[in-house]
Amino acid sequence: MVDENGRRWFAKVYRGDLERERAAIELAEFARQGEVPVPAVRRTLDGDLICARGPLSLWEFVDGETAEGGITGARWQSIGTVLGRLHRRLAEHPAATPTKQPAVGVRDVGKAAGSFDRVIDGYASRTRLSSFEQWAWEAAKERRGLLDRAGTILAELPDLTVQIVHGDLASPNLMLCGDDVAAVIDFQPPSPRFTAWEIARIGCDPRTVMLGDDWIDGLPELLLAYRDEHPAAHADDLVSSVAAGCAYTLASTYPLAEPLDDPAAVNPALELYARARHESALVMLERLPDVRERLRERLRPRP
């Protein structure tokens, strides 16, 4: 969409809870006011964030590509800088004051066991399975068997920081222009979550982990840039990010459960992502001791 001044805008149409969507836009505006690269939103003539006709919102159009191709090279540092700025700004959000909480709160492993059992039983009850459903069934059984290890990983972590975060900072919601971050998009409504979990969402994104072992050297660069931009960040949150991300992913049934819960959402792209997410969780689990030691070494407190 192009306005009368030749400025391009992106229209986002809503079908869900408009109050939740409005809260998400307000969080994006809050981050933008802290110099986080967030596209500007154009208000209606009445000053509203969402136009009732549609309903939709208008956002500044940003040239670039998503980070779905994986993080490489200088992108590690630029993403770390923006992520640190984002968390530093959102730590000031009035909805919640940052606190320290036990890391077992990253994922309820006991509840996850019930979720996996439901998925496994759901596939077992079907007379025929597609090739993807057969794979998802086997993957769910494998991950169900790893839940005790996921619980142990979280139980052994120190208390970690919980604060307002973006909420869905995966690679599709990070726009890049070359090696620079052009925009952070698609915020969720403000809700306290573990910062270590959100760091892992982007730093250990399956699309990056599956490129090879370069993520093991790249992640420390992201975290060093994060710390430079957010000096108040706790070392425990940074060093524990891979462990938190690994345990969370191991204990998540998404998208293994989609053929049961939302068949219409299953497409080749989702199937590819499901396989990458499963394999990346296993890679993180295998490499976790080495990666954590490397992070401790690179993130030693400054003299």
Answer yes or no: are the C-beta atoms of 43 and 49 closer than 8 Å.
Answer: yes
Pairwise CA distance, residues 222 & 208, whole Å: 13
> Reduced to 3 states, what is the DSSP secondary structure of residue 222?
helix
Answer yes or no: are the C-beta atoms of 258 and 122 closer than 8 Å.
Answer: no
> Where does CATH 3.90.1200.10 sit in the chain?
65-298
Answer yes or no: are the C-beta atoms of 166 and 56 closer than 8 Å.
Answer: no
In a 13 Å sphere around the CA of 241, the CA atoms on its Cβ side amount to 28
Pairwise CA distance, residues 86 & 173, whole Å: 14
Tokens of 194: 């573990």
**pLDDT attached to residue 302:** 63
DSSP calls for 118-148: HHHHHHHT-S---HHHHHHHHHHHHHHTTHH
Over residues 264-276, the pLDDT tens digits come to 999 999 999 999 9
Answer yes or no: are the C-beta atoms of 106 and 207 closer than 8 Å.
Answer: no
**pLDDT attached to residue 230:** 98
The percent of the chain in helix, strand and coil, each rounded to the nearest 5, is: 55, 10, 35
- Residue 275 CA, chain-centre distance (Å), reads 17
Main-chain phi, psi angles of 21, to 5 degrees:
-65, -40
**pLDDT attached to residue 16:** 84
- 10 Å CB burial of residue 276 (0-12, 13-18, 19+) is middle
Pairwise CA distance, residues 158 & 101, whole Å: 9
Note down pLDDT in tens along the chain; length 303 residues. 677 777 888 899 998 889 999 999 999 999 999 999 999 999 988 889 999 888 999 999 999 999 999 999 999 999 999 999 999 999 999 999 999 999 999 999 999 999 999 999 999 999 999 999 999 999 999 999 999 999 999 999 999 999 999 999 999 999 999 999 999 999 999 999 999 999 999 999 999 999 999 999 999 999 999 999 999 999 999 999 999 999 999 999 999 999 999 999 999 999 999 999 999 999 999 999 999 999 999 998 765
Q: 99: which strand partners?
A: 162
Pairwise CA distance, residues 126 & 179, whole Å: 47
- Cα dihedral 195, 33, 27, 55 sign: negative
Tokens of 84: 């640190």
Query: 65-298: CATH homologous superfamily?
Result: Aminoglycoside phosphotransferase (APH), C-terminal lobe (3.90.1200.10)
**pLDDT attached to residue 303:** 56
Helix (H) or strand (E) segment spanning residue 296: helix 268-298
Answer yes or no: are the C-beta atoms of 90 and 28 closer than 8 Å.
Answer: no
